Amino acid sequence: MLIGACLFAAGLYMVLTKSNAIQVLIGIEFIINAGVINLVAFGKYDRYHNSGQIFALFAIVLAAAATAVALAIILNVYRRFKTIDPGKIDELKD
Amino acid sequence: MEQGIFIFLGLTTVASAWFVAASQNLVRSVFMFFVTLFAVAGLYVFALADFVAVTQIVIYVGGVLVLMLFTFMLSSKETLEKLEESRHPVFTLKQFPALLVAAAFLIVLVNAIFKLKPDQLGWILQATNNTFRPQDNTVTNIGTNLMTTFLLPFEAISILLMMALIGAAHLARKERSFD
């Protein structure tokens, strides 16, 4: 759990500081992984229903889906703005 | 011995995660992300969740990271060079508030964990014969439970995954009206 907390803090720091959308995405992955570590750690105490591990699997699948969509969005944004710095993208629709 | 391996994996996870966070070089940080994910998979094995560990390796290392590598190889070379030349010291004033927020969160979480004393929670103490044993066959049990108790979340997440795939393909498609 302590490792999960450290990973969460690292992810949060990355999300807040990075000037590159892909690195922000990696930070989000760290946050998700921190949550999954906790699910698995407590899932150890549920041998008959496996709820911890099963929801850890669901969380991993959700993270993968979110990454796929986010990377598609990043590609699109790059094509439109020629940059992937979230601080420089300041208009919603032309 | 086991304790040593566990501590080693934990330290690897945390250290490589902080390296990823502190590194300015995108390529280097993505490759350190590999290391973090492998170490996390090792930690899952220590929590006797081998199936989750294998899934982690297959999905993250096989899928997500390849996707990330593709994305930044597709984005043109100039951006990568521009990213690399804009390196500044590891901690600048701009990053200070974020560092503060992250440190505060870390302190709060660590404090909460120590106050909670996870080893002495009631339901964990009661679960002595409900704990995983290393010789258990978890995959069979997970499969059975996935198809009986957790069937509704399973179906929901499969539909959501399909929607995400279609949406990602739709978003990444080349549109002619862009320029």
Average pLDDT of span B117-144: 69
- When pLDDT is cut at 50, 70 and 90, the band that residue B16 belongs to is confident
Predicted pLDDT of residue A82: 65
Structure tokens at B178: 């862009």
pLDDT digits (tens, 9 = 90+) for A13-45: 555 555 566 677 777 777 788 778 777 777 777
Average pLDDT of span B3-13: 77
Quick one: closest CA in B to A30, which residue? B17
Which of B111, B108, B17, B113 shows the shortest CA–CA distance to A11?
A: B17
Assess contact for B11 and A2: CB atoms under 8 A.
no
Looking at the predicted structure, is the pLDDT value of residue A47 above 60? Answer: yes
Average pLDDT of span B156-160: 89
**Number of neighbours of residue A33 by Cβ within 10 angstroms:** 24
- Best residue in B76, B132, B137, B154 to probe A by mutation, most A CBs within 10 Å? B132
Instruction: Give the residue extent of every domain in chain A.
Output: 2-81
Looking at the complex, report in whole angstroms how far the Cα of residue A50 sits from the nearest Cα belonging to chain B.
6
ipTM: 0.73
Query: What secondary structure letter does DSSP report for B63?
Result: I
Please, which contacts does B14-19 make with residues 24 or more away whose CB atoms are closer than 8 Å? B14/A3, B14/A6, B14/A7, B14/A10, B17/A6, B17/A7, B17/A10, B17/A11, B17/A30, B18/A6, B18/A10
How far, in Å, CA of A86 to CA of B59, rounded?
27
Give me the count of residues in chain B. 179
Average pLDDT of span B157-168: 87
Predicted pLDDT of residue B36: 81
Average pLDDT of span B25-31: 74
Q: Which residues, 6 or more positions from A30, have their beta carbon under 8 angstroms from its beta carbon?
A: A7, A8, A10, A11, A14, B17, B20, B21, B36
Quick one: closest CA in A to B131, which residue? A45
Residues of B in contact with A51 (CB under 8 A): 145, 149-150
Which of A12, A47, A44 shows the shortest CA–CA distance to A31?
A: A12
pLDDT digits (tens, 9 = 90+) for B34-78: 888 888 888 888 777 778 888 888 888 777 777 777 766 766 555
- In CATH, A2-81 is 1.10.287.3510: yes
Instruction: Give the residue extent of every domain in chain B.
Output: 1-87
Predicted pLDDT of residue A87: 62
Query: What secondary structure letter does DSSP report for B129?
Result: G
Q: How far is CA B83 from CA A25, A39, B25, B34, B79, in A?
A: 16, 36, 8, 21, 6
pLDDT digits (tens, 9 = 90+) for B88-98: 555 555 667 77
- When pLDDT is cut at 50, 70 and 90, the band that residue B105 belongs to is confident
Which residue do the tokens 């258990």 mark?
Answer: B136
Q: What is the mean pLDDT of chain A?
A: 70
pLDDT digits (tens, 9 = 90+) for A59-73: 888 888 888 888 777
Looking at the predicted structure, is the pLDDT value of residue B179 above 50? Answer: no
Looking at the predicted structure, is the pLDDT value of residue B163 above 50? Answer: yes
Side chain identity at residue B161, one-letter code: L
Residue range B1-87, CATH number: 1.20.120.1200
Q: Is B25 left (phi over 0), alpha (psi -120 to 50) or beta?
A: beta
- Best residue in B9, B27, B52, B148 to probe A by mutation, most A CBs within 10 Å? B52
Q: Which residue has the higher pLDDT, B134 or B84?
A: B134
Structure tokens at A1: 């759990």
**Do A61 and B59 count as a contact with CB atoms less than 8 A apart?**
yes
Looking at the complex, report in whole angstroms how far the Cα of residue A17 sits from the nearest Cα belonging to chain B.
6
